Amino acid sequence: MNKTSTLLKRHLKVIKDFPKKGINFQDIFSITKKPDIFNLIIKEISKVIKDNSITKVVGIEARGFLFGMTAANNNKLPFVPIRKAGKLPGEVRKLKYKLEYGHDVIEIQSSSIKKSDKILLIDDLIATGGTAVASVKLLRKFNSKKIISFFVIDLENLKGSSRLEKHSIEVLSLYKTQG
């Protein structure tokens, strides 16, 4: 475990039985309140960006925006949001996907990704992987050269990372724990 992972383990607040009984909610905002830890996370993301010659950073709504936008800006790269349906102006590409309790739709602006792009997909946490897998499927509509995923926290017991890996996506995370 590196320094950043150790700090995450020590300072990440876990709220038991939220939003319902049996869930251990990982409160990422307990980390964003600590600029020194937040900056270490951004440095880790920046290493991934440089090591993989990333050309676009894509963040999943909404907490993926916090880390993705900051890392993109620090590396002078464009930031592209993936949002829930009806939140983006202009022409969009969309994908409907199944959740445990129904369906949802995510969108991305049609002009935001090019075939030549190497994409880093970012979110704060991966749990069951439903939205992350849907985001990858949506990004694949652009036929980009490469997609790598990055999550600050990986709830290993919920198997989201292995769902992404089944789609041939490299999954990177800073802190692995149970959800």
Q: Which two tokens stand for residue 89?
A: 């102006």
* 91 has catalytic annotation: no
The answer, as to whether pTM is greater than 0.85, is: yes
pLDDT band with cut points at 50, 70 and 90 for residue 101: confident
Catalytic residue (choose from 83, 93, 100, 156): 100
Q: How many CA atoms lie within 13 A of 154 on its CB side?
A: 18
The string of DSSP codes covering 12-25 is -EEEET-SSTT-EE
- Peptide bond preceding 19 in cis form (omega within 30 of 0): yes
- The answer to whether the beta carbons of residues 59 and 81 sit under 8 Å apart is yes
Residue percentage of the chain with pLDDT more than 90:
91
How far, in Å, CA of 164 to CA of 157, rounded?
A: 14
Instruction: Locate 104 and state its tokens.
Output: 């949802």
> Active site includes 63?
yes
**Element spanning 57, H or E:** strand 56-60
Token match 């963040």: residue?
A: 59
pLDDT digits (tens, 9 = 90+) for 21-50: 988 899 999 999 999 999 999 999 999 999
137-163 pLDDT, tens per residue? 999 999 988 999 999 999 999 999 999
> What pLDDT, on a 0 to 100 scale, did the predictor assign at position 100?
72
Helices 63-74 and 35-51: crossing angle in degrees, nearest 10, is 60
| The two structure tokens encoding residue 133 | 């897998």
Those residues whose C-beta lies under 8 Å from the C-beta of residue 157, and which sit 6 or more positions away, are: 178, 179
Q: What is the pLDDT of residues 109-119, one digit of tens each?
A: 999 999 999 99
- The single residue of 61, 63, 93, 165 carrying the catalytic annotation is 63
| pLDDT at 1 (0 to 100) | 60
Which phi and psi (to 5°) does residue 132 adopt?
-65, -45
* 172 has pLDDT over 70: yes
Annotation: CATH topology of 3-177: Rossmann fold (3.40.50)
- Report the pLDDT averaged over residues 15-20: 92
